[in-house]
A = this chain, B = another copy of it.
Amino acid sequence: MILRFGVVGTGAIGREHINRITNKLSGGKIVAVTDVNQDSAKQTVETYQLDAVIYPDDKALIADENVDVVLVTSWGPAHEETVVAAVEAGKYVFCEKPLATTAAGCMRIVEAEMKQGKKLVQVGFMRRYDTGYAQLKQVIANNEIGEPLMIHAAHRNPTVGENYVTETAVQDTLIHEIDVLHWLVNDDYKTVQVTFPRKTKNAHGKLQDPQLFTIETIGGIVMNVEVFVNCKYGYDIQCEVVGEDGIAKLPEFPSVVMRKSEQLSTNILNDWKYRFMDAYNVEIQDFIDSIAKSGEPEGPTSWDGYIAAVTSDACVKAQQTGEKEPISLQERPAFYSEHILQNN
C-alpha cells in the first residue's frame, strides 16, 4: 500500500518533505499539491517530476479522493483551517508546527479529531525521532537513572535575522524543547519563569538574547532551559536529565576527531538543518509505517500541539512580566492518553 499525500504549501519545508517522500523514503507518494502561490506549486511539480494534480486551494485538494494524507506546510496562521477541514473529511494530517497559532485553535482541532473517533493528526515535532532523544527517553523509561528531578537544556543558534524578536525565541526556538521535554519525562508543565542575563553584544536591538527559562512540572521536575540564538560558535542542542540515581545526557553530534594545531577537537554544526536531518526522515517514515500498520499515526498528537500552544503563550507572558506564570492545561482526554513505553 502506498500512502498518497496532498501537500498544502510548497515553500522550503514543503519541498523538503516532497523530496523526502519521493526520493528517500518508502511507502508514500505525492499525488496533489497546492499553494497560495500557484507558480510555486507548478514549479515544485516540475522540479521533482511529480505525477501530481495542482489544486487552486486546500479545500479542493482535501476533496480529492486520491489524497489519503494532507501534509500541511503552509504558513502558521493558515494551519488551523486546513487541518480542521482535512480532519472533518476523515483525512490523515501531517502538520508542521504550529498546529494552530492559538490554544483555542488547537482545541478546535482536538475536538474535530475526537469527533472522528480515531487519531488522524501528527504534528511535526521531529526531535522525538532523533536517535539521541529516543535513547534518552528509553533510559528514563527503563528507570536507569531513577525518577527525573531536573533537566538542564540549551538551544543555541549561531545567529538569527532582524525579524527574530524576543517572542520568537519561544515560538520558533524553545517550542522544540517545549514539545520534547514533557514527552521525555512523561509529565505536564505547571509554571514558567524567565530570567534575562546581560544581553550579548551580538544580538540586534529588539532581541533579548540569551534567555533562561525555568519550567516546573506537575510532578515537581525543574527544567532550566537556555535559549541563546546569537551564540556565534554553532548550532548546539544540549539536554541533560538528572535523576535520583544518575544522569543521562544527549550525545554530541558525532564527527571525526582531529588532533591538529595544538587542539583535540570535533566539529560543531553551524546549521540546524544537518542536526535533525535523520530525524526528519525517520519522522515521516514512521508516520507512513504507523498508518500502514495500525491505521493511526503514533507521533506527536493534536493534544501535543495544544500543550505546545498553551505553554508557548505562558512563556511569552513570562517574558513580559518577569514573574512565575502558570501553565494551565485542560484535563487530558482519555483519547490522548500517553503511550506506555515498552521497557523491554
Q: Residues of A with Cβ closer than 8 Å to B? A: 22-27, 131-132, 135-136, 139, 144-147, 149-150, 152, 195-202, 210, 212, 214, 216, 219-222, 224, 226, 228, 231-234, 236, 242, 244-270, 278, 285, 289
Contacts and interface: CB of A to CB of B under 8 A. Distances in A.
A258 B246 contact: yes
A255 B135 contact: yes
Contacts of A248: 256-259
Given A248-B258, A259-B268, A263-B266, 10 more contacts: A149-B228, A152-B152, A201-B244, A212-B214, A233-B245, A233-B259, A246-B260, A246-B261, A248-B256, A264-B265
Contact of A210 (B234, B242, B263): B242
B226 A150 contact: yes
28 contacts: A23-B289, A25-B25, A131-B254, A135-B255, A135-B256, A136-B256, A149-B197, A149-B198, A149-B200, A149-B228, A152-B224, A198-B220, A200-B244, A201-B244, A202-B244, A210-B242, A214-B214, A233-B263, A234-B262, A248-B257, A248-B258, A251-B255, A254-B254, A262-B267, A262-B270, A263-B265, A265-B266, A278-B278
A147 B231 CA distance: 12
A256 B184 CA distance: 14
Q: How many copies does the complex hold?
A: 4
Contact of A252 (B26, B150, B254): B254
Contacts of A262: 233-234, 267-270
A216 B201 CA distance: 18
Given A246-B232, A257-B249, A147 B210 contact: no
Most buried by B among A149, A195, A236: A149
A80 to B, nearest CB: 32
Contacts of A220: 197-199
A195 B221 CA distance: 10
A73 to B, nearest CB: 19
Contacts of A199: 220
B139 A258 contact: yes
